[in-house]
Every structure is written in C-alpha cells, then in structure tokens.
Structure 1
Amino acid sequence: MSRAQIAPPAPSGPARSVPPPPSRPLPPPPVVGPSTRLVDLAAPEQPLSPHDPRSVGEYTLTGRLGSGGMGTVYLGHRAGTHGVVAIKVLAPHLLDDVDARTRFLREGQTLQKVTGDYTARVHGVGFDGSMPYIVMERLDGPSLHAFVAASGAVTDGEMLTRTAIALARALAALHADGITHRDLKPGNVLLTSAGPKVVDFGIARVVGQTHHTPAGNMVGTPGYMAPEQVTGNGALPATDVWAWACCVVFAARGDHLFDGDNILDIARRILDGPGAEAFGAVHRLSPRLVPVLRRATAQDASDRPRDGAALLRLLDRSGATSAVGHAGWDRLVGGGVR
C-alpha cells in the first residue's frame, strides 16, 4: 500500500490540507442556528498567497478555495464575463510526475463525460505552459463531512432520506455514464443549493480507460472501502453502493461506520461487516432505509445492488422514496440546517 493510493478517513474534495497562512484574517466560522443556510457553511474564499499565480490561461485568479496534495483550487473569472469559476491546478512539484499529471488530466476528462446534474460541470481542460488545469463550475455549500462537523449528525429523518435518495441518483447517473467513483465519502459529497454533488474523480475508473493500479493494491479511503477494495480485487459500481451506505450512516451517526486505530484495524472491521447496532441511528430517523443499507453492505458485491440504478429501485421498493413529502431539499437550503 502506498500513501499515494490510500488516505486516512478525513475530509477531502477540493480542500485536503491546511493552506499557507493568509495575508489577512479569515472571517470567523458561522454560528450554526435555526436560520443557518447551507451556503453559509461553505468553505470561505481565502486570499492568494505571495506564491500563488495571479492568472491561469485566460482566467484571472481572485482567491483560493482549497489546497491539497495534488494541487490547489482557485476562484477565477475570464475577462468580459461576469460569472466566477473554480480552477483546479496541479501542484508545481508534481509537474514532472508523469503518473500525477496523467491522473490529474484523467479527472478532467472523466468529469467531461458526466451528463447528470450531480457533479460540477467542467468548462474545459487546458495547459498554462506545462501546468495543466481544469475549469469547473463553482459549487456552493459544505461537504457532508463539514456539515456534520459544524452542526452534528442529521436529526431530521426526511433530510436523511432525501440525502440518501439524491446521492443514489448521483451514482445512477455516474454508473450510466460508465464511471465508477471508487472514493465516495462524506468529504467528496457537497451539499449545494441545487442538491448533493459528487466531487473528486482523481481515482475514478471509466469504462474503456486503461488504468495502471498494480494488482493487490488498495485504492480509496480506508473507512469507506468495500471488501473487494480492501483485498485488492478492484472496484465496480457495487463498490460505490457500499460507500453510499457508509455515507448515509455517517450522516445519521456523525461518525464512520468502520473506524479503527490504524489501516489494518479498519480493514479487519470492514471484512467483519457492520455490527448489530450499526444502523441504529438510521433506524430511529428513517427505518425504511435500514433494509437497503443492509443489502448495500453485503460482503459479496454480487449480493448488493449492482449499481446506482438498482439501488434506486431498491429504495423505491422499500418505501423510502414515498416516505418523504414535497418539502424537500429547498427547505434545508432556505434555512435551518437542523
């Protein structure tokens, strides 16, 4: 297992590490209350550091949205336009790393293949000299991980159910486009004003693409890996279904379904399967989700819903879909994160 292929169960997506000290103080985090909106919990724009570029291609950069091991995401705009975009730039120290450049460009190409409304729209992939970059729609709202960190576990059954259904729809769209995410987790699910969006496709697998992951290596985030990832036997759409279940449980409990002191401990718990009380918090909020979660966390991938579309059908048969009313996502966005 190499550190480039596996990461601890921590928030990811556009922001993966602590950025350099800003040149001016950042605003304090919002006080979470009954009038808090999702957009209020989004990561604030950070000022550019002295080492940051001021432009990329045709875009003028105005701030940072986040930074991580693979690169930095900036906020920018193009002359003559009024909208802002997110621009992901490969880290300078990786410019000569062929594998890193290939993975970075593959992410942009993968996102361009997605036809659903559940990811950031990609406006283009280009180069500024030798530096590759991806121009994407800027998404508002926090990640599921950040939301739970700010406001605690979800306590509204309808919100939990709608989040589960929306995320299943996202997987159905991705799988219909031949894409297996392979690293679905709360840090890679953004709760935007338009609904949940799946981000970070750096290790996604696309039908027809050639990948070079050595046999027997784990790829993903330990706490959200399916058994077949833990044993190094690859990933398929049913692998994302397992991760979907882990995300739903995280939302309801506020902690990881599979956790441990180290990677080996987490892997052992995954191979043992969910404990007797694993879905207790979900049962208290939305009991119709529980049978679906049990199927989604079957040890054998062939016993799970085979993809997002099959997961949606199972949610419908369970009655979970009909259990939610007409006041849905917009109620959460409009005010009252709890």
Structure 2
Amino acid sequence: MTQHVRGATRLAGLVALLAAGAGNASAHVKYVTPGSDPVEVAAFLLAALTDPFNLAVLGAGGVGVAVAGAAYLRFRPLPNDVRAFRRTMASYESLLPWLLRLAVGLPLVGAGFSGYFFSPAVQSSSPVFVRLFGITVGFLLLFGFGTRLVAAVGLAGYLVGLAVEPALVLAFEYVPGFLAIALVGGGRPSADHAVASMAADDRTFYSRVDPFYRRVALPFVERTRHLEAYVPAVLRVGLGLTFVYLGVAQKLMEPGDALAVVAKYDLTAVVPVAPELWVVGAGLTEALVGVLLVAGAFTRAASAVAFLLFTTTLFGLPDDPVLAHISLFGLVSALLVTGGGPLSVDRALSDRGAGDAESGGDASGRSAGA
C-alpha cells in the first residue's frame, strides 16, 4: 500500500512539475524554432498517446484539473479572499482603456522600429510602410488620440495583411485587442479625454470651433455605449482562439518544429520526460486554456495560468522576442480585470448563485472568473 502511495505521489509531483514547466515550450514555436525535418503527425500522436507513462501523466493532469474545478465549485474555499480580489479587480475597470491601449500600442511601436508587420514571422517587402504604420498607429494609441478611428485603421491593416500573408495568424490577438479598444475608446488618461473635456465645456474657445465632438463623436459614443459590456467576451473569444491555435496547430499539428524547440533548449533536462510528452503536454495545456477562455469558464484562473505560461516562456527561452508577447500579456491582464463578462459560463454560474441566495441558498455561489 505504501509503495502505491509513493508511486502516486511521484506521479502527482511529475504532473505538477511538467505543468509548471510547460510554459517553456508554450511560446510561438515559429519565433524560436531552429528548423526541423517534417514529422508525420498521426505517427507522432499515436506514439505519444499510446505510451503508458505518457498516458498516465496526461490523464493524471486532466483528472487533477477536473477535480480542482469541481472541488472549488462545491466547497468555495476562501470566500472572503475571493470577494476581496474581485472587488480590487473591479476597481481597476476605469483603467481598462489605458491598459488595452498599452497592450496594443507598445508592441506596435516595437514592431515598427524592428521592421516587422505585427508578427516577427512577417518581414514585409515594403519596410518603410511597415515602420510608418506600426509607429504611427502604436504612438496614436499610446497617446490616446483618435483612439477608436486609429483602432479601426489598425484592425483593417491587420485583416488586409492576414489575407495576403496567412502567417499573421500568429498575431491574431490584435483582432480582439483592436475591437476592444474601438468599443471602449481612449478612456483616461488620454488625449481624447482631454479634448472631449474642452469640447464639452461651453465656456471654452475650443468648444466653439470644434466641428466634430457634438456632431460625430458624442452621438457615436451614445449609440455604441451598450456594446462596451461585451468587451470581456470579445477578449475571451479572441484570446481563446489564439491559444487553441498555438496549442493545436503550432504544436500538435507541427510536432517537428516543437520537438526541435525542446531539443534546442534542452527542456528534457528541466523535466526529465520524453520530448513527445513535452510537446503534447504544452499543446494540450494551451488548448485547454483557450477552450476555458472561449467558454468563459474560470476566466480569471485561466488568465492567470496564461500569464504564468508567458512568464516562464520569457525566462526559459532567452531568444524569444519579448515585444511579440506584450500584447498577449496586456490582454490577458485585461481579462483578470474584467472576468468572464456576459455570454460566459462564469456569468451563468454567478446568476444561478444569486438566484440560490435569494431562495435561501448559499450567497457565495459565484464562479471563479465572474
């Protein structure tokens, strides 16, 4: 009996270590791969998923995640701590537009100065245009001037580029980023807020000469204000799809490049398991995070895991381009602030918990990410 317990303990420890280290293999593979020979996907997955040890580790990880989620929903541990954390995050909502502008503007400026178009994998044949586009759109977003219009221009530029160069899907997080900025506007602090304050004050000279604020900007904001509530859903779905793509397409469907990354950084020395388990574990972890984000289930917890994956990637892969991940860092941080929002499992669980409380049930019946 003791021997079985020790074996289970070792397996649990290995699962935890592999999960913690999976971030090192969770980068954009295309950014760091040294190149590799093609590997047959079906043969790779068959070999990896028929190995008893690999199955035990992956199965234990899956069961552990499911049990942890079910246990939280059943017992609701540390309710006061959870409520305090949610209140703190909610207090940051007024800063959400600023956070979004930083998350998208900073990497765009960096991309412009570095000479690539959104993604380091896309080096344009028109470097002057690429530099001007990235620097101009990025700085205007950081400054918060004409924010909604600039976000629309940035989104259009990305979509046109994606139609021409499919590799831009590696930077798909810009789509939810631009959409969210277009919905919330510049916020404060921003040039838009300063200009709007002057335009709204009838005593200022500027309010008499501004032809745009009352005729265009104000009516547009009033018509679209109700859509701001869907910003968490936009971010969740966009980032979730990005994670699913990185996990499935970049790792499970292209195991050759992923295995080359494991070999390049000697990741099997970090956690002594087969390279195949590294690749499959990292791919499934990213895919699971993506599915949770799309569904809006345990949104803040999934966002925290994503943040951890990015952090370990930056420390574990020294030549991984940091600039290319700032957008992901920022947008995941925004989800920590907003939670799941509407159209999410979190919101459904929260509403059900509120209904139970009104009926005399447990008033703490809220979801992890609500």
Whether these two folds match at TM > 0.5 is: no
Which structure's relative contact order is higher, taking Cα pairs within 8 Å and 6+ residues apart? 2
TM-score w.r.t. the length of structure 2 is 0.26
Q: Greater helix share, 1 or 2? A: 2
Q: Which has the larger radius of gyration?
A: 2
